[in-house]
Copies of this chain bind each other. A is one copy, B any other.
């Protein structure tokens, strides 16, 4: 059965028809305004209608950032859209006569990676979505871990430094503050002050100092061989890996997949992450160590995973 996956982001909606083996057969997009929840719902309805014109589908999966109820019908809380205990499924169902499920966006991306990406041969997997923030998905015995209240997999809020950096969630020291694009941007800007004479390449790429410098400039500069940027990515990778060792203590996965925008740094991030992981893995040598790999699916992971979860 083909299904439609919809991925609601902060500025746009991506939607696609997804085959049973994870292929995206058709796409569409809509620009959205996060301050207009009703318009977002309408855009989802429109996108689904457009895709159904040409394709036979049996279900719709909708992914969004936020906590989703265990029954997959309500958005309990969304950080970027004004949804609070919002009956998103019922609202969409009024205009879409197909089974609909709502999913957390990181869970959708992780599920895609598990079903069709580099996790396709494992049964226990953790996906780390290292984007602006740090999202996660946990696969246990081939099932997506949703938790008692739908909030499982919020790995970015594992505390890694007591009294550490403030997170948007109001707490200090969340992993997300050390292993995300936001962390990379912040570290790069700090180095403008503390390590000014080594920031030439970075500032040139950014087109100026200060707030012009952002995480992607670090990745670009590192890929061109800039030593400081390479160190900044390595430090980020170390935090990714060290935190992953804590996850491994609890979950004992076979594979940890690194995706998200920062994951595009490739080996510059992956190798330090692997080293950090092994350096902190408890009982290394007395147990097999999880493999850490880069995600194989790109930006479409959310669409693919949402569609596939709608079939299950």
Which residues of A line the B interface, CB within 8 A?
A: 67, 76-77, 84, 122-124, 136, 138, 140-141, 143, 145-167, 169-172, 174, 178, 186, 190-197, 242, 245-247, 249-254, 279-280, 282-288, 290
List 12 A-B residue pairs with CB atoms under 8 Å apart, sorted by A's residue number: A67-B283, A76-B286, A77-B287, A140-B140, A140-B145, A146-B252, A151-B283, A162-B162, A162-B242, A163-B178, A171-B282, A250-B250
Copies, count:
4
Q: A140-B140, A280-B171 are in contact. Are A147 and B286 (CB under 8 A)?
A: no
Would A77 and B286 count as touching, CB distance under 8 A? yes
Chain B positions within 8 Å of A171 at CB level: 190, 194, 280, 282
CB distance from A64 to the nearest CB of B (A): 14
Would A147 and B124 count as touching, CB distance under 8 A? yes
Residue of B nearest to A286 (CB): B77
Would A246 and B169 count as touching, CB distance under 8 A? no
Residue of B nearest to A255 (CB): B148
CA separation between A220 and B154, bound complex, in Å? 37
CA separation between A77 and B288, bound complex, in Å? 12
Would A147 and B246 count as touching, CB distance under 8 A? no
Query: Looking at A84, A162, A290, which has the most chain B CB atoms within 10 Å of its CB?
Result: A162
Would B159 and A280 count as touching, CB distance under 8 A? yes
Would A285 and B196 count as touching, CB distance under 8 A? yes
